[in-house]
């Protein structure tokens, strides 16, 4: 794996943005003629978001974070959350990353990470409380580029509540494929869309966790991001399911902005229906889920039918009972006793996947197994499917 190379944002704008290969692969310029994500708010639950980077000035709505949950929201403790925010909604100004949905806005939340002191960890907002607060806001999308091997019940209940409020939630599948490929959370909870990472060729990253938790996949290999919390330079050749998750969130923002009357179910269904794959739609891959996201396929079709507003497109995987049912607004109590997601078949290649640290803190991870070729926005992509930033 290539070592990260520091790139000063003010002096290397072209270099940084030229490394965002996924923008041209997904034909972002064409999509932006139809939608930039304007009017859509995305909550980034992460290591905090620095609103002062050149690419995020005016893009971060810190005032919308409840005061009781605002500790460290605008003081990124690792550089990870700011990278996610820029990948989603960066303007590209001043040599910064260009977001896939530059018209969207970011609502930042910082949760406990291992880079924080014990005192800071204790002050960091509780994940379940953060998710419930977002559920009660006008944020449409929740980006969760972190994971843990412990399934906290209050977190699961909060996610169920957010789903009942019509929120669309994306989470990183994890970066432990070459270790033990452990199950992680929140990605394995019902109502959460799990995202795997692919490279320029569409090959799933060797590190990308596979299994029943993977629902979609997106670019997440050899992309630039902030090197650390000093915000002095970007690093090239970063990779992780975190980045893929941010691109998935941005893709949803583009579609939701173009179709503001759609529900979360319809936005998600459109991403699933148009995903690049070479296997039956009803047999998701263990490595790439329903395929590689291609929001352009939705945006370029003015007659696209998103289907039922209430039918859950992942009802089977999420074990939500009878397909077509929606979570009730009273979903603040207990969660299903059955497995959160059923295990789909369709693995297109063998590989390892996700390890996680134990404990009550989060770890942000920036780090392919090949399969069938699919086309994502015109470029060929091969496909396959403590806490940690993934």
Residue closest to 341 by CA, chosen among 312, 325, 317: 317
Query: 127: which 2 tokens?
Result: 């994940």
Strand ranges (DSSP E) for 312-363?
A: none
Which of 46, 199, 215, 222 is catalytic? The answer is 46
Q: What is the DSSP string of 204-268?
A: BPTTS--STT--EEEE-SSEEEE-STT-S-EEEEE--HHHHHHHHHHHHHHHHHH-TT--HHHHH
The answer to whether 231 and 79 have CB atoms below 8 angstroms apart is yes
User: Could you count the other beta carbons within 10 Å of the beta carbon of residue 138?
Assistant: 9
Name 149's bridge partners: none
Catalytic residue chosen out of the listed positions 173, 242, 270, 354: 242
Residue 261 annotated as catalytic: no
* Stated length of the chain: 390
The beta-strand segments (E) located in the chain are: 6-7, 41-46, 105-110, 141-144, 146-147, 168-172, 192-198, 216-219, 223-226, 234-238, 373-376, 379-382, 388-389
Active site residue 46: yes
Q: Compute CA 377 distance to the chain's CA centroid, rounded to the nearest angstrom.
A: 19
- Catalytic (active site) residue 145: no
* Residues 281 and 128: beta-carbon distance below 8 Å: no
For residue 380 the two structure tokens come to 């060929």
Catalytic member of 55, 77, 80, 354: 80
CA 310 from chain center: how many Å?
23
Which residues are marked as active site?
46, 80, 242
């Amino acid at each position: 794996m290539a070592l990260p190379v520091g790139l000063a944002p003010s002096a290397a704008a072209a270099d940084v943005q030229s490394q965002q290969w996924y923008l041209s692969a997904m034909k972002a310029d064409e999509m932006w003629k139809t939608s930039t994500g304007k009017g859509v708010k995305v909550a980034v639950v992460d290591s905090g978001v620095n609103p002062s980077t050149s690419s995020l000035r005016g893009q971060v709505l810190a005032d919308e974070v409840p005061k009781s949950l605002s500790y460290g929201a605008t003081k990124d403790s690792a550089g990870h959350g700011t990278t996610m925010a820029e990948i989603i909604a960066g303007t590209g100004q001043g040599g910064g990353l260009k977001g896939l949905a530059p018209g969207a806005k970011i609502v930042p939340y910082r949760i406990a990470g291992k880079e924080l002191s014990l005192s800071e960890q204790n002050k960091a907002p509780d994940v379940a409380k953060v998710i419930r607060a977002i559920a009660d806001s006008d944020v449409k999308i929740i980006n969760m580029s972190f994971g843990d091997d412990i399934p906290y019940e209050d977190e699961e209940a909060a996610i169920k509540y957010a789903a009942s409020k019509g929120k669309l939630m994306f989470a990183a599948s994890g970066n432990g494929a070459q270790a033990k490929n452990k199950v992680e959370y929140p990605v394995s909870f019902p109502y959460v869309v799990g995202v795997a990472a692919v490279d320029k060729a569409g090959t799933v990253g060797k590190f990308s966790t596979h299994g029943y938790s993977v629902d979609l996949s997106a670019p997440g290999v050899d992309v630039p991001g902030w090197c650390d919390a000093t915000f002095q330079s970007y690093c090239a050749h970063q990779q992780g399911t975190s980045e893929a998750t941010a691109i998935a969130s941005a893709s949803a923002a583009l579609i939701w902005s173009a179709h503001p009357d759609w529900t979360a179910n319809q936005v998600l269904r459109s991403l699933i229906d148009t995903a690049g794959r070479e296997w039956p739609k009803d047999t998701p891959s263990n490595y790439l889920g329903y395929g590689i996201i291609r929001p352009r396929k939705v945006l370029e079709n003015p007659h696209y039918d998103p289907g039922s507003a209430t039918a859950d497109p992942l009802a089977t995987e999420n074990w939500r009972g009878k397909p077509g049912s929606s979570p009730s607004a009273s979903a603040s109590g207990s969660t299903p006793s059955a497995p959160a997601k059923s295990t789909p078949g369709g693995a297109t290649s063998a590989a390892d996947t996700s390890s996680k640290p134990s404990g009550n803190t989060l770890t942000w991870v920036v780090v392919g197994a090949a399969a069938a070729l699919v086309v994502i926005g015109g470029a060929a992509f091969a496909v396959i499917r403590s806490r940690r930033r993934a």
